[in-house]
Amino acid sequence: MSSPSKRREMDLMKLMMSDYKVELINDGMQEFYVHFNGPNESPYHGGVWRIRVELPDAYPYKSPSIGFVNKIYHPNVDEMSGSVCLDVINQTWSPMFDLVNVFEVFLPQLLLYPNPSDPLNGEAAALMMRDKPAYEQRVKGILSLSNPEQCSILLFLLLYIDIRLLHSVVDVFSALHFNLICAHLTLPLPSLAPQPEYCEKYAKPEDIGAAPEEESSDEELSEDEYESLDDEMAGQADP
């Protein structure tokens, strides 16, 4: 095993023993993520960033490549790629430095003392020089969206609100549906009594309460005729 590979392994183990959360990207030890907390007494306090680290084959004689994965608003950090403009990394790196120095000294200093005169984010640099309170407010605003823990809490709250809102909507529709059912049940039922037009046209008089008209039947009329004929015949028979 070559000396650079031993140094990479040793520096990585030293970083992990310093209570930094490290996520290996592959089976090797040259690419990994490190969780980095914003330093106290800075607008970045409370933020947590994932820093991608790539160790070249010539490490420690060549500086590591580092970049922010989640968004950070800083004059010396490219907003799109997350690459860092840091002299000690890019120009004055020494084999005497190690990964612990990067995360305990170099990056905290970068966030504590931004250098707007050599920016990678021109907008952040201009805002910092023009209106520092507004710059710090912008940092904190983006910080709340970039922090994974805060985003998880925010997502949970949004889901909770959505569920409560959904329940409220369901309750409202259930109440409306119940009221509609009740209103339907309390509607007056249609009258079952026969309509006057029907009575006049089809019903019998006794069925609608009118006095029945007296009409003689065909049989009664025939008997009367028979009696009158009998009387006439009897009168003709007397002398």
Contact criterion met (CB below 8 Å) for 11 and 99? yes
How many C-beta neighbours within 10 Å does residue 52 have?
A: 17
Say which amino acid occupies 228: S
Q: What is the dihedral of CA 108, 111, 112, 115, to 10 degrees?
A: 130
- DSSP labels for 10-58? HHHHHHHHTT--EEESSSSSSEEEEEEEPPTTSTTTT-EEEEEEE--TT
**Does the annotation mark 151 as catalytic?**
no
Which listed residue (85, 151, 182, 199) is catalytic?
85
35 forms beta bridges with: 50
- DSSP labels for 113-136? S--TTS-SSHHHHHHHHH-HHHHH
Contact criterion met (CB below 8 Å) for 44 and 143? yes
Cα-only R_g, the chain: 50
Q: How far apart are CA 109 and CA 98, in angstroms?
A: 16
The catalytic residue positions are: 85
